[in-house]
Structure 1
Amino acid sequence: MPTNNFNIKGLTNAEVIESREKFGKNTLDYKQENNFLDAIKSLAKEPMVILLFAASLIYLMSGKTGDAIFLASAIILVSLITLYQDNRSRNALQNLKKLSQPHCKVIRNGTEVEIKSEDLVVGDCLMVEEGTSITADGIIIHSNDFSVNESVLTGESQVIFKDKDKADHNIFKGTTVASGLAIARITHIGNTTKLGEIGKSLESIQEEKTPLELQINSFVKAMVIAGAIVFIIVWGINYFLSKDLLDSLLKALTLAMSILPEEIPMAFTSFMAIGAWRLMKLGVVVKQMKTVETLGSATVICTDKTGTITENKMSLAKLFTLDRHRIVAPNEAEGVEKELVEIAMWASEPIPFDAMEVSLHESYGDMEKVDERPDFQLIHEYPLGGKPPMMTHIFENKAGKRIIAAKGAPEALMATSNLTAAEKAEVQKAIETITSQGYRVLGVGEGVFEGNDFPKTQQEFKFNFKGIIAFYDPPKKNIQKVFEDFYKAGIAVKIITGDNAATTTAIAKQVGFKGLNSISGDALMQLTEKELKACVMDTNIFTRMFPEAKLKIIKALKSNKQIVAMTGDGVNDGPALKAAHIGIAMGNKGTEIAKQAASLILMDDDLSRMVDAIAMGRKIYANLKKAIQYIISIHIPIILTVFMPLALGWIYPNILSPAHIIFLELIMGPTCSIIFENEPLEKNTMSQKPRPFTTTFFKWKELNTSIVQGLVITLGTLVTYQYAVYMTYGEDLTRTMVFTVLITANIFLTLVNRSFYYSILTTLQYKNKLVLLIISITVSITGLLLFVPPLTQFFKFETLNFQQFSISVGIGFISVIWYELVKIKTRRNSKVIKNKV
């Protein structure tokens, strides 16, 4: 039975090609935005581009053609950098979308194969089972206890039962299978599906901005407003003093340009998109950008046991029957023990996909000389359900012989059978013996029922308790190291499983799991809210869990201010995955419902990828913070160096022009978005506690550091200014020295701010080739401006002698390098705290 796919052959390869040529691919094609044109439109609205264009126009009207051409060229250069970064981000996200496309199972050439959903064609025989998302419209040609949730189309969340003999025998794209299995012949794909016809509404759906994105946007908007206000004030002051409209406009524009931190949104988008792409390369698909923000804050990871901690390679390991009063291995099975395996097989899906059921089918094939599976047809099915859970299948052959087989939690089968107290005690003793060794146990029962008016629930049957079957699922080889990494990073780990306490505890001991105290789902549901909040913090193993209990655990942890990551693979995990801050679905064994509910998918079901993902999340967040702190620090001296001489009426009020500001901006953009994004993970990052997940990105401590750094650099530029005036240097020479201080400070600020803990001597050893490249380009271009006469004249510079150059570079260096003393103090304090601990 499991190999013939109910005698359905499906399409041949030639028929697939013919159908695809006639009907196309199974994709939804609506009005597509032109990414390039959209990027150009967005670019045209950028405040910096608008200011550059205005300044260029004013220069042109003033007859300063060279300056106008330079700023126009700067517009092109800024646009190219922005478009490059935008394209880089888009490509990263497109790759993620392609990788996260759903797959489906079809029967072709008489064989079951898995394909991408977009490769599905009209006429294909699509197999859908509990937990999968239906990928096209079709007509059911075979089903077993099949029901679907069509709320995505109807808005109604109730489950609808369907089969080929009912009037409603259609399945629709986008709906999900609630129970059972069906095979449907595909009738409509892509835009011709019911979902495709109403899918125009999808065009208007926009991705919601994340809290961090909103904070950054608010910060940038505030700076834009501040820039606009200062622009008006400075324009008014200059015009009042000079009565020169165009000149006063230029001076005001210079200050406005210096205020705008337009690099911040670019850095945010680049860091998040490229970070998601880097995670994809590690085998972690990020479905939502907000997950990247949250990863570094995870404080608790709730993990399933089967397939996550263990290999999910269930092998039938032990058998127990009351008739023989012994626990034996399958190869020692005789008589009633073989019958136990046979009944357990009939209680499984006809086409098995669960590892335990696959093992049962294989064991039945090995034990029985005559395979009766092709002779029997599944006529009724009770899906896995109840507390504790069980499932029942009813088969019948042409001669009218009926098999009613059930399997599930031993407690469930014992409760529906006529066992005596002594027999229950013997079964319980066998269970304790088997589970103490880490085996997973199932009870097996056989029922008898005449007629076809089957009970509403499987628990209404009276079963003959056949015995216990046990499976061994070995722990993954790397799981102990994974737990150690989580503990080292300050992350608590909790096991949430449907298995019993003894089996779970035995496996937990084998893998070095911390905290073996446990609680069952039923006991957990009896707790008061106060007791529950304390329980989820003190307990690490949760057994015999069901959807409501899992959801309750997640909510209780969240109410304790924990940032919760939750792994899952089944339909029942959906609510908990959705509720967790980080829902983690398994890429191989995970159902489509689990993948839809999750925000992150582990492609190879390897929990060690979560260690990598958390490290990446911490790195991205830390590097983004470094980039933004760098931007704030370097903007302060630019703003004040432009504003102070003007506001205080110094001898050279307009020391920097738009050309100088845009040159500095062109240096800062690549520095923050390329150098810092490419920075490696600092060696102490994964030994720190998770950062608090607060609504405030710009904490006062970080802002204070950036402001102080910026003010010290400003002090350096203004001291240099006053020194040049004191030495009676001209305006051009003064400008050159001030500009050299700013460039020097910018270079060393980049190096110093690579870490706010480790010294510059340590960070120079970090592997980031872009640091040397960007700094080399900056130094080379600056050298050309200072020492090539045509460029020097254009920028109104004057070539510095050795003393002047040394003073400027020295002041720029000192105005930044002082922070190394702060780092020394930070490291000493950290060591003192560790020694006390």
Structure 2
Amino acid sequence: MIPTKLDAARDLAIASAQAKSLETTLARLHTQRSGLTDDEAEQRLLDYGENRVATEKAPPVLIQLLGAFNNPFIWVLIVLAAISFVTDYWLPLRQGDDTDLTGVAIMLLMVTLSGMLRFWQEYRTNKAAEMLKTLVRTTATVIRRATPSGRPEKKEIALEEVVPGDIIFLSAGDMVPADVRLLKSRDLFVSQTALSGEAIPVEKYDLLANVSAKGSQASGDAGDLLSQPGICLMGTNVTSGSASAVVVATGSATWFGTLAKSVVGRRPQTAFDRGVNSVSWLLIRFMLIMVPIVLFLNGFTKGDWTDALMFALAVAVGLTPEMLPMIVSSNLAKGAIAMSRRKVVVKRLNAIQNFGAMDVLCTDKTGTLTRDEIILEQHLDINGHNDDRVLRMAWLNSHHQSGIKNLMDRAIIHFGSDNPAIAGLQRYRKIDELPFDFERRRLSIVVADEDDQQTLICKGAVDEMLAVSRYWMEGDALRALDQAARDRWHSRVENYNQQGFRVLMVAMRRLDDGTLAAPLCADDEREMVILGLLTFLDPPKESAAEAISALQANGVSVKVLTGDNAVITGKICRDVGLAPGTPLCGGDLAKLNDDELARAVETTTVFCRLTPQQKSRVVQALQGNAHTLGFLGDGINDAPALHHADIGISVDSAADIAKESADIILLEKNLLVLEEGVIKGRETFGNIIKYLNLTASSNFGNVFSVLVASAFLPFLPMLAIHLLIQNLMYDISQLALPWDKMDKEFLRQPRKWDAKNIGRFMLWMGPTSSIFDIATFWLMWQVFGANTSAHQSLFQSGWFIEGLLSQTLVVHMLRTQKIPFIQRRAALPVMLMTLLIMAAGIAIPFSPLGQAVGLVPLPWQYFPWLVAILLGYCLLAQGVKQLYIRRFGQWF
């Protein structure tokens, strides 16, 4: 009987229990050291499924298309179009009257343009994101037997075909294909960066073979799988050494698979989604209140309920910012195109605005703030001064070792590649070598110069090096390594450790008789002379400090969430200009309840030793405190936080699961693009909110004017078709807003959706426009005698032109908090579009279109009055704007 899938989810924890023997684990998995038979493997593949983890895929094209039309305002327009179809076409058709589909066509055109623009941009970015996925086929080496009594043979199989109970082989460069328990290992180092965030590879070894050597480490917490020396997890990779292991869990049952499942599926609402919804329902509620008032007021005062209904529907369309989805989509699409020029893929359009609203950026450390590579920083003597002798001996040791060079060896060789201190060392030849092992924690090389003078050079962990040393060098003086000297070296090393450096010690000994008498062995590592120390660091990216400074200058605070330790993280933070303060580590965070964490996240900059779930919990705590949150990360352990953040940011070299969880992918590891994204996001949001404020206040002013006119006029102040045409022309003029610029003052701080501010803006600016609408009513009634039903076309024509020109022209007054045309001018596309629409609005009553819809030419005497009314409106709007800014401290 083989274990079930439910058993597999528990087996890794059982295998990691250090007191359990390997035989217990093998028995639990119904396998043996000689591996599975082909039949057993085939059956387990059927029972467990392929060794794949859950991934998030782009929805089908049809679903994307339907989703692009799922917007409250689009639904309002569709409902209004349906009502208009019934009242303008279906009912008149049944009664034999003239039909009119103009209103329906206008509304459906708005719906189609808005939805299709959004669909095309998101479809295009989804395709680009799919192209970023890794296409390399990964394999694993396993032992399989043809029959139960057959001879075990090594086979290379696809990673997807690995099953629980397989015996696999790992060597340098291999990706660990599943969660495994080591059977036998040799000098095995594994990079867990993608899971833990730690840049330095960690040692792994088979427990039973190393209990005596590693007893102190083998007693750790068995629940922390990443720290277990006998366990390797899917998603990690071997940097050096080799091992055999038994597969304990595959696919979704792995530690990585469990993580992947948590980020697949419906994404939580972002700040953008919540903001759009709140504003949408504010305007819809306003419409639902005002439209019945208009309907009943006109119905009771005019007596024609059919005309009253048609006019109320036109008012409903006028109150609906039906171009909002298109304005939003075009603004976001323009932002996405601009970002693509900076080699940034925007997977989800809403992320552009969230970029601008972001007031907290949480970032992983390794690979995001740092270069994700180890470099040799210093080669020091006891006094902390760089000593070329230390570098030369270290270089000879690393250069001549025959095993797979680890990250520190490569860093030493790279550092010395263009260093003059290394010149001439090629004259040394290698005599013998004693490789690194876990018990000694040292690597020794014997080299000889051209005079055959042999030197033993040793480098390794500090305590193990001190144990085999008898002397140390201070300048050119040879000193005895007494306890005071040992304490001094320990103090120096501890100081570097507190600065975040990894430290190795370098020592040497000239062989007494000049030659090596026998093959080099551990006993030869004695009476060594300590030369100095090597300090290593995963350095910050060159752009990190400048990018963080720019973000902070733009009102975005930066917090670091990492799986690495507090000392190293604090060092990196200081290097990039962040004050680390008192870090909050994962163990302490786990003890906090949600309320305590909500308070802690506000005052903490560095969160260290976090699990993936803890990173996500910090993100959600900050969101619960009303922050719009971005998360920058590239590892598997960052995926949950990327998924829950308002804007997830990753890089093209990130783990696939991180890229799938992200909203934005950087194709170049230049963090300065983050500032550009923030500014572009705020500019995008500013133009969206500009359209909303201007349109909502203008529409409210129109409705207020309609209510006043309906109460006193014996006819409708404007026909329904006039309102639809006026509304469409105004909306067309606003299509140029994505190309407009925002005031620099607006771009300095994060910007969020605020339905209350929009409502306040409507109440201030709407009645301001109504003053001049009412002045136009008086003008047409008193001066031009349009005060009877016979002259209603003249009245309606006069208000049509004034209404369209006033709400189009005032865009220039209200689009900036500065003095328009003097301190700040609109972008050229906005200038041209508004001039074009204003000219077209004046021309319509004189055109066949105007005659067809009941508009008439106006006498030339009307236009000086029109100029005076528009000038007065502009001056009053500027005055009200200044009062508003002084009263509320902001404009948009």
Task: State whether structure 2 residue 696 is matched by structure 1 residue 669.
Answer: no
The verdict on how the C-alpha distance between 1:658 and 1:330 changes in structure 2, with shifts beyond 3 A counting, is farther
CA deviations on 1:648-681 (whole Å, 9 max, x unpaired) are 14232x1211221111221233344x23322224
Residue 611 of structure 1: how far off its partner (Å): 0.9
1:621 to 676, 685, 691: 685
Alpha-carbon distance in structure 2 between the residues aligned to 1:677 and 1:290: 15
Counterpart in 1 of 2:750? 690
Alpha-carbon distance in structure 2 between the residues aligned to 1:484 and 1:326: 31
Counterpart in 2 of 1:179? 236
Task: State whether structure 2 residue 726 is matched by structure 1 residue 699.
Answer: no
The verdict on how the C-alpha distance between 1:636 and 1:542 changes in structure 2, with shifts beyond 3 A counting, is closer
Residue 630 of structure 1: how far off its partner (Å): 1.4
Q: Secondary structure at the match of 1:765?
A: coil
Q: Secondary structure at the match of 1:490?
A: coil
Counterpart in 1 of 2:877? 819
Q: Secondary structure at the match of 2:743?
A: coil
Counterpart in 1 of 2:189? none
Counterpart in 2 of 1:489? 554
Alpha-carbon distance in structure 2 between the residues aligned to 1:538 and 1:29: 38
Counterpart in 1 of 2:674? 610
Q: Which amino acid aligns with 1:773?
A: L
Residue 820 of structure 1: how far off its partner (Å): 1.6
Contact (CA 8 Å) 2:813, 2:877: kept in 1 or not? Answer: yes
Residue 425 of structure 1: how far off its partner (Å): 3.3
Task: State whether structure 2 residue 842 is matched by structure 1 residue 783.
Answer: yes
The verdict on how the C-alpha distance between 1:61 and 1:770 changes in structure 2, with shifts beyond 3 A counting, is farther
Q: Which amino acid aligns with 1:811?
A: I
Instruction: Indicate the larger mover: 427-436 or 479-488.
Output: 427-436
Alpha-carbon distance in structure 1 between the residues aligned to 2:644 and 2:70: 38
Counterpart in 1 of 2:802? 741
Counterpart in 2 of 1:808? 866
Q: Secondary structure at the match of 1:760?
A: coil
Q: Which amino acid aligns with 1:68?
A: D
Contact (CA 8 Å) 1:343, 1:445: kept in 2 or not? Answer: no
Alpha-carbon distance in structure 2 between the residues aligned to 1:718 and 1:284: 51
TM-score, scaled to structure 1: 0.65
Q: Which amino acid aligns with 2:713?
A: W
Q: Secondary structure at the match of 1:143?
A: strand
1:50 to 74, 77, 82: 82
The verdict on how the C-alpha distance between 1:137 and 1:277 changes in structure 2, with shifts beyond 3 A counting, is farther
Residue 244 of structure 1: how far off its partner (Å): 5.9
Alpha-carbon distance in structure 1 between the residues aligned to 2:278 and 2:355: 23
Counterpart in 2 of 1:186? none
Alpha-carbon distance in structure 1 between the residues aligned to 2:616 and 2:803: 55
Task: State whether structure 2 residue 740 is matched by structure 1 residue 679.
Answer: yes
Q: Secondary structure at the match of 1:811?
A: helix
Residue 603 of structure 1: how far off its partner (Å): 2.5
Q: Secondary structure at the match of 2:755?
A: coil
Counterpart in 2 of 1:169? none
How do 1:293-442 and structure 2 match up within 5 A? 293-303=353-363, 307-309=367-369, 314-319=374-379, 328-329=387-388, 332-334=391-393, 338-339=396-397, 346=404, 348=406, 359=411, 425-431=487-493, 440-442=501-503
Q: Which amino acid aligns with 1:744?
A: L
Q: Secondary structure at the match of 2:649?
A: strand
The verdict on how the C-alpha distance between 1:704 and 1:433 changes in structure 2, with shifts beyond 3 A counting, is closer
Residue 707 of structure 1: how far off its partner (Å): 2.3
Alpha-carbon distance in structure 1 between the residues aligned to 2:265 and 2:366: 37
Contact (CA 8 Å) 1:577, 1:583: kept in 2 or not? Answer: yes
Q: Which amino acid aligns with 2:552?
A: Y
Q: Which runs of 5+ in 2 are unaligned?
A: 1-54, 142-156, 186-232, 243-251, 254-260, 444-457, 471-480, 508-527
Counterpart in 1 of 2:475? none
2:117 to 77, 82, 88: 88
Alpha-carbon distance in structure 2 between the residues aligned to 1:469 and 1:250: 84
Residue 682 of structure 1: how far off its partner (Å): 2.3
Task: State whether structure 2 residue 763 is matched by structure 1 residue 711.
Answer: no
Contact (CA 8 Å) 1:547, 1:573: kept in 2 or not? Answer: yes
Counterpart in 1 of 2:649? 584
Contact (CA 8 Å) 2:701, 2:770: kept in 1 or not? Answer: yes
RMSD: 5.7
Residue 822 of structure 1: how far off its partner (Å): 4.0
Residue 313 of structure 1: how far off its partner (Å): 6.1
Alpha-carbon distance in structure 1 between the residues aligned to 2:647 and 2:68: 31
TM-score, scaled to structure 2: 0.62
1:724 to 758, 780, 790: 780
Contact (CA 8 Å) 1:48, 1:257: kept in 2 or not? Answer: yes
Residue 804 of structure 1: how far off its partner (Å): 1.2
Q: Secondary structure at the match of 1:799?
A: coil
Task: State whether structure 2 residue 280 is matched by structure 1 residue 250.
Answer: no
Task: State whether structure 2 residue 682 is matched by structure 1 residue 650.
Answer: no
CA deviations on 1:161-194 (whole Å, 9 max, x unpaired) are 69999xxxxxxxxxx93323599xxxxxxxxx99
Residue 751 of structure 1: how far off its partner (Å): 1.4
Contact (CA 8 Å) 1:737, 1:805: kept in 2 or not? Answer: no
CA deviations on 1:191-231 (whole Å, 9 max, x unpaired) are xx99xxxxxx99x9666654543554465456557656766
> Highest CA radius of gyration, 1 or 2?
2
Alpha-carbon distance in structure 2 between the residues aligned to 1:325 and 1:220: 64
The verdict on how the C-alpha distance between 1:669 and 1:29 changes in structure 2, with shifts beyond 3 A counting, is closer
Task: State whether structure 2 residue 319 is matched by structure 1 residue 259.
Answer: yes
Contact (CA 8 Å) 1:55, 1:71: kept in 2 or not? Answer: no
CA deviations on 1:515-550 (whole Å, 9 max, x unpaired) are 475658589769988998887666656778776886
How do 1:115-126 and structure 2 match up within 5 A? 117=134, 124-125=137-138
Contact (CA 8 Å) 2:584, 2:604: kept in 1 or not? Answer: no
Q: Secondary structure at the match of 1:470?
A: strand
The verdict on how the C-alpha distance between 1:831 and 1:68 changes in structure 2, with shifts beyond 3 A counting, is closer
The verdict on how the C-alpha distance between 1:664 and 1:126 changes in structure 2, with shifts beyond 3 A counting, is farther
Alpha-carbon distance in structure 1 between the residues aligned to 2:314 and 2:642: 51
Task: State whether structure 2 residue 812 is matched by structure 1 residue 771.
Answer: no
Q: Which amino acid aligns with 1:712?
A: T
Residue 144 of structure 1: how far off its partner (Å): 4.5
Residue 311 of structure 1: how far off its partner (Å): 5.1
Counterpart in 2 of 1:459? none
How do 1:174-323 and structure 2 match up within 5 A? 177-181=234-238, 210=270, 212-213=272-273, 216-217=276-277, 220=280, 246-288=306-348, 291-303=351-363, 307-309=367-369, 314-319=374-379
Q: Secondary structure at the match of 2:679?
A: helix
Instruction: Indicate the larger mover: 775-784 or 534-543.
Output: 534-543
Alpha-carbon distance in structure 1 between the residues aligned to 2:693 and 2:575: 46
Residue 719 of structure 1: how far off its partner (Å): 2.5
Figure out how many residues of one structure are paired with residues of the other and give that number.
687
Residue 440 of structure 1: how far off its partner (Å): 4.0
CA deviations on 1:439-477 (whole Å, 9 max, x unpaired) are 84344899xxxxxxxxxxxxxxxxx99985434666655
Residue 127 of structure 1: how far off its partner (Å): 8.8
Q: Which runs of 5+ in 1 are unaligned?
A: 1-25, 104-115, 129-133, 151-158, 166-175, 184-192, 195-200, 349-353, 383-390, 394-404, 447-463, 833-837
CA deviations on 1:113-159 (whole Å, 9 max, x unpaired) are xxx54x56xxx55699xxxxx99845698634988798xxxxxxxx4
Residue 347 of structure 1: how far off its partner (Å): 7.3
The verdict on how the C-alpha distance between 1:39 and 1:286 changes in structure 2, with shifts beyond 3 A counting, is closer
The verdict on how the C-alpha distance between 1:574 and 1:82 changes in structure 2, with shifts beyond 3 A counting, is closer
Alpha-carbon distance in structure 1 between the residues aligned to 2:857 and 2:840: 14
Residue 785 of structure 1: how far off its partner (Å): 0.8
Alpha-carbon distance in structure 1 between the residues aligned to 2:642 and 2:56: 27
CA deviations on 1:296-333 (whole Å, 9 max, x unpaired) are 343344445565455556443545699x9996459942
The verdict on how the C-alpha distance between 1:41 and 1:719 changes in structure 2, with shifts beyond 3 A counting, is same
Alpha-carbon distance in structure 2 between the residues aligned to 1:70 and 1:560: 49
Q: Which amino acid aligns with 1:732?
A: S
The verdict on how the C-alpha distance between 1:256 and 1:772 changes in structure 2, with shifts beyond 3 A counting, is same
Alpha-carbon distance in structure 1 between the residues aligned to 2:306 and 2:626: 57
